[in-house]
Amino acid sequence: MLKYTLKRLVNAVVVLFIITTATWFLMQLLPGSPIQNAEKLTAEQEAQVGEQYNLDKPLPVQYALYMTGLVRGDLGNSYLYGGTPVTSIILDRLPVSMFLGTQAIVVGLVVGLFLGIVGALKQNSIWDSGAAFLAVLGVSVPDFVLAPLAQYWLGLKLGIFPIAFFESWWHSVLPSLVLSTVVAAVIATFTRTEMLEVLGQDYVTLAKAKGLSKLAVVLKHVLRNSMIPLVTIMLPLTAALVTGVLIVETVFSIPGLGEQFVRSIFEKDFPIIMGTTILFSVFFVASYLLQDILYGLIDPRIRVAGNRE
């Protein structure tokens, strides 16, 4: 098991290195200058300013400089924000995005499970159709449509929620709800399918035959066994949330990472683009690593396969 974990860990570092390098070089292909106000500078002035940011050095040298900084944990300073360190900008905003995302996942999980269970137990009833309708709506209405609509109607017109900003927990409710729709919809559909399959299994019939109450059968046997594959879809779901976070943070004026990331690309603030990409990659790679290790723990077959090599 230790060997397996170590091997996965080395893999993760290699993946991170490749992502970092690829992003760094791709970024250099962006047209335009990262220098502010470059449109109004003569070529000579622009070159002089570039010197201060090492932009005059050959690309391999710039790359080497960046990577040595990175190894020391230095993500550099923002071009756009008057040399503010990238780490302080990211650390400022990370908790906000994490809070919003976590809340959305929790809400989505609860709502999705509920809809899924109702759909499976009351198959083909009006409840089932209702849950299915909500699920289809949740998957097919994108956040960039839902967020402005929710803001306009629930925020401005009905005045139930704040229109925007992030000043109290109450402010976070509407954005979280918007974000959670995709999660809820996917989990609902998934839970329903899995549960229907498990409900048809022999051991469920056996449990029923033993005279267990309906609730006990659902909780102990059906739900538990339907949940295992759910672990697999949580990760892609989290990834799907990311695009949502970019939009929801902008629409609701929430000072998170997603919104900042978009701006840094427009402004070609290379250090911020790099810092955020590295952070996102670490998050993804770490999740996959965790997932692989968890699988190894849950399912001995995977672990054995890993050990054989």
Under the criterion CB under 8 A, does residue 169 sit at the interface with other proteins? yes
| Type of residue numbered 87 | T
Residue among 131, 142, 148 at smallest CA distance from 190: 131
User: Rounded distance, CA 100 to CA 280, Å?
Assistant: 16
**Given the complex with other proteins, which of 113 and 257 has the nearer CB atom?**
257
Among 4, 75, 97, 120, interactor with other proteins by CB under 8 A: 97
Which amino acid belongs to residue 291? Answer: Q
Least separation, in Å, of the C-beta of 305 and other proteins? 27
- Is residue 155 part of the contact set for other proteins (CB under 8 A)? yes
Judged by CB under 8 A, the residue of 75, 104, 182, 187 near other proteins is 104
How near is the Cβ of 275 to other proteins at its closest, in Å? 12
Match 């990760």 to its residue by tokens.
235
Q: Judged by CB under 8 A, which stretch of 35-43, 67-75, 110-118, 132-140 contacts other proteins?
A: 35-43
Three-state SS annotation for 80-146:
CCCCCEHHHHHHHHHHHHHHHHHHHHHHHHHHHHHHHHHHHHCCCCHHHHHHHHHHHHHHHCCHHHH
The footprint of other proteins on residues 56-85 (CB under 8 A) is 78, 80-84
Angle at 190 between CA 188 and CA 191, to 5 degrees: 65
- Nearest residue (CB) to other proteins, 171 versus 221: 171
Binding of other proteins at residue 190 (CB under 8 A)? no
The closest of 234, 242, 230 to 279, measured between CA atoms, is 242
* 186 in contact with other proteins (CB under 8 A): no
Please list the residues that pair with 63 across neighbouring strands.
none
Number of residues in contact with other proteins, rule: CB under 8 A?
A: 89
Binds other proteins (CB under 8 A): choice among 156, 216, 298, 304: 156
Q: Does 158 bind other proteins (CB under 8 A)?
A: no
The Cα 196–Cα 230 span in angstroms is 14
Question: Which 117-146 positions form the footprint of other proteins (CB under 8 A)?
Answer: 144
The reply to whether 257 sits near other proteins by the rule CB under 8 A is yes
- 113, 251, 275, 292: residue in contact with other proteins (rule CB under 8 A): 251
Task: Kindly state whether residue 173 participates in binding other proteins, applying the rule CB under 8 A.
Answer: no
* Residue 172 sits in the site that holds other proteins (CB under 8 A): yes
For the segment 271-300, give every residue that binds other proteins (CB under 8 A): 277, 279-281, 283-284, 287
185, two tokens: 């919809």
Backbone dihedral angles phi then psi of residue 166, each to the nearest 5 degrees? -140, 65
Site membership for other proteins, residue 89 (CB under 8 A): yes
Interface residue with other proteins, options 4, 12, 24, 35 (CB under 8 A): 35
Give the integer Cα–Cα distance in Å for 23 and 222: 45
Q: Report the residue number, 97 or 119, with the smaller CB distance to other proteins.
A: 97
6 sits in which H/E element: helix 2-28
